[in-house]
A and B are shown apart, each in its own frame.
Chain A
Amino acid sequence: MSTIVLDPITRLEGHLKVSVTLDANNIVTAAQSTGNLYRDFENMLVGRVPKDAAFLTQRICGVCPVSHAIASSKATEQAAGFKPSLQGLLLRDLIQGANFISSNVLHFYQLALMDYVQGPQVHPWTPGYTQDFRFNATDSQALINNYVAALSIRRQAHEMGAIFGGKLPHVGNVVPGGVTATPTATDITNFRNYLNTVASFIKTTYAADVNKLAAAYNDYYTVGKGYGNLISYGVFDTNTSGGLLFPAGTVTNGAVGSFTQTNIKEYVGHSWYSSPSGANPASETTTPNFGKAGAYTWLKAPRYSGAPYEAGSLARTWVSGDYRHGVSVMDRHLARYTETNKIATNMLTWLNQVVAGVSGSVNLGIAAPVSGSGIGLTEAPRGALGHWLTVANSAISKYQIVTPTCWNASPMDDAGLVGPIEKALIGTHVVDTAQPVELLRIVHSFDPCTGCSVHVMSPEGVEMSNFVVQPLGA
Chain B
Amino acid sequence: MKISRRDFLAWTVAAGVALNVEFNLDNVNNVMAAETDPPIIWIQGSGCSGCTISTLNVTNPTTIDNVLLNKISMKYNSTLMTASGDLAMQTLDQSATQYKGQFILVIEGAVPTGANGNYCVIGEVNGVPLTMQQAVLKYGPMAKYVVAAGTCASFGGVSASAPNKTSCSSASTILSGKTTNPVVNLSGCPVHPTVLIQTLLDLILIGMPAVDTNHRPTKYYGTTVHATCERRDKDNCFEDKGCIGPGCQNVCSTLKWNNGQSWCITANYACIGCSNPAFPTSPLLSGNYD
Contacts and interface: CB of A to CB of B under 8 A. Distances in A.
Q: Do A and B bind each other?
A: yes
A37 interface: yes
Interface in A413-428: none
A134 B115 CA distance: 45
Contacts of A256: none
B79 A13 contact: yes
A166 B267 contact: yes
Interface stretch (A236-244, A246-254, A376-384, A461-469): A461-469
A400 to B, nearest CB: 16
B29 interface: no
Interface in B144-181: 157-159, 161-163, 165-166
Choose among B59, B85, B166 the residue with the greatest number of A CB atoms under 10 Å from its CB.
Answer: B85
B20 interface: no
| Band of interface residues on B | 35 or more
A459 B158 contact: no
A48 B162 CA distance: 10
A163 interface: yes
Nearest to B81: A124
Contacts of A132: none
A216 interface: no
A84 interface: no
Interface in B66-110: 68-69, 73-85, 87-89, 91, 95
A368 to B, nearest CB: 6
Interface stretch (A175-183, A202-210, A218-226, A326-334): A175-183
Given A39-B166, A181-B267, A364-B290, A151 B65 contact: yes
A215 interface: no
A419 to B, nearest CB: 19
A364 B123 CA distance: 44
Choose among A48, A165, A458 the residue with the greatest number of B CB atoms under 10 Å from its CB.
Answer: A458
A398 interface: no
Given A8-B123, A17-B124, A61-B48, A440 B280 contact: no
| Band of interface residues on A | 35 or more
B268 A5 contact: no
B56 A151 contact: yes
B190 interface: yes
B153 to A, nearest CB: 13
Given A51-B290, A55-B272, A173-B264, A124 B124 contact: no
Nearest to A368: B290
Interface in B253-268: 257-259, 261-268
Contact of B57 (A8, A158, A166): A158
8 contacts: A6-B84, A13-B48, A59-B48, A62-B49, A62-B51, A127-B87, A175-B269, A465-B115
Question: Which 9 interchain pairs have the tightest Cβ spacing?
Answer: A62-B50, A166-B267, A172-B264, A128-B82, A167-B257, A162-B258, A6-B85, A7-B124, A124-B81
Interface of A: 5-15, 17, 36-40, 43-44, 47-49, 51-52, 55-56, 59-63, 65, 106, 110-111, 114, 119-120, 122-129, 148, 151-152, 154-155, 158-159, 161-173, 175, 180-182, 190, 290, 359, 364-365, 368, 440, 451, 457-459, 461-465
Interface of B: 35, 39, 44, 46-54, 56-57, 59, 63-65, 68-69, 73-85, 87-89, 91, 95, 112, 115-116, 118-124, 127, 129, 157-159, 161-163, 165-166, 189-190, 252, 257-259, 261-269, 272, 274, 280, 282-284, 290
Given A55-B272, A458-B120, 20 more contacts: A5-B85, A8-B88, A8-B122, A8-B124, A10-B82, A10-B83, A36-B122, A43-B163, A44-B161, A55-B284, A56-B158, A62-B190, A114-B82, A155-B59, A159-B259, A167-B252, A172-B269, A173-B267, A451-B47, A459-B129
